[in-house]
Amino acid sequence: MNTSDEAERGLTDIEGFLYWEAHRRTAHRRAADFAGRVAGLSDTQRAEIEGWYVEEQLRVSRSMTQHLTDHLTAVEEHHAKRYAQLRRGAYAATTLITVLILGLCVVVLIGTAG
């Protein structure tokens, strides 16, 4: 792996970390807002609700991210297979056209020489 690839990977890792950290902070804020509207909760109960909500939001996000990753991988594999089929077809057509043109040239050369 060269330096450019390492730098790109590092930036991707940082981007992923910042995304998850922002998501976690948003979940904390939403949980705190929700728990703040519920009357009669003790500080311990409020903290438990916030902790549960944040964990649940992160679990759902991970699940969705994994689902999207799996789907994108499947689509990428499908397109790679289709591209390979199209490429083989194009090579076969090019080869056939080349053979036909060469055959035609040979026929024309024999016809004009004879």
- Predicted confidence at residue 114, as pLDDT, reads 67
- Residues 54-89 pLDDT 10s: 999 989 988 998 999 999 999 999 999 999 999 999
Residue 114 and residue 51: Cα distance in Å, rounded?
Answer: 93
The residues, any chain, with a CB within 8 Å of residue 32's CB and separated by 6 or more, are 50
- Residues 28-49 pLDDT 10s: 999 899 888 888 889 999 999 9
At residue 4 the predicted structure's pLDDT band, cuts being 50, 70 and 90, is: confident
At residue 8 the predicted structure's pLDDT band, cuts being 50, 70 and 90, is: confident
Give per-residue burial for 2-39: e unless 16+ CB within 10 Å, then b: eeeeeeeeeeeeeeeeeeeeeeeeebeeebbeebeeee
Q: Which among 13, 10, 73, 80 has a CA at the least distance from the CA of 1? A: 10
